[in-house]
Amino acid sequence: MTTAQNGIRAQVLGAEISWNQQFFRLPGIWQHFGVYFNYTYTWSEATVRRNNKNERIQLPGQSPHAANLALFFDSKKLYAKVSANFNDAFLTELGIKPTWDIYYERNLHLDFNLNYHLTKNFQFYLTAVNLTNTPLKHYLGVSSRVKKQEFYSWWGRVGVRLNI
């Protein structure tokens, strides 16, 4: 019989930097462009009991590196943004031994958003996600031992909003 059990102890430390800049000082249409950047570093360590021994592991669910980079256009009528989103690989589930631990593979995908105000109360929007068709991938111990790989292609939403 196998049962889930909490770990013995865990520590998490991290740091995040972010930069958001619209280029207001540029002339003409260029003043509406901007850039957004965000990076997060997370160090984690957990002590668990596995096979009658204490073992140190990365805390499940903690990606050591995550980053976002976006280029945008923001004016009174139009907002458009293309963004790249990155997550490093991270442990999701402990196996009976380390080579059976399940990890979520690192991934990078691109998204696009657009909002256009037709009038003060009427807005058109478009969202496109995962333009790079990055797969959802889980592996056992090392990335060459694929447990599951799923392709969802890109997807999106198109619509209108009415603010009353």
Residue 3 domain flag: no
Total-model pTM: 0.81
Is 1 a member of any domain?
A: no
Q: What is the full per-residue pLDDT of the chain (164 aa) written as tens digits?
A: 555 567 888 999 999 999 999 999 999 999 999 999 999 999 999 999 888 899 999 999 999 999 999 999 999 999 999 999 999 999 999 998 899 999 999 999 999 999 999 998 999 999 999 999 999 999 999 889 999 999 988 999 999 999 88
Q: Which residues of 73-98 are buried (b: 16+ CB within 10 A; e: fewer)?
A: beeeeebbbbbebebbbbbeebeeee
Q: Give the total number of structural domains in the chain.
A: 1
Whether 4 maps to a domain, the answer reads no
Residue 87 in any domain: the answer is yes
Helix %, strand %, coil % for the chain, to 5? 5, 60, 35
Handedness of CA 152, 69, 20, 90 (dihedral sign): positive
| Residue-level pLDDT at 120 | 87
Q: Is residue 50 part of a domain?
A: yes
Which residue segment(s) compose the domain that 55 sits in?
9-162
With respect to residue 75, please indicate whether it lies within any of the assigned structural domains. yes
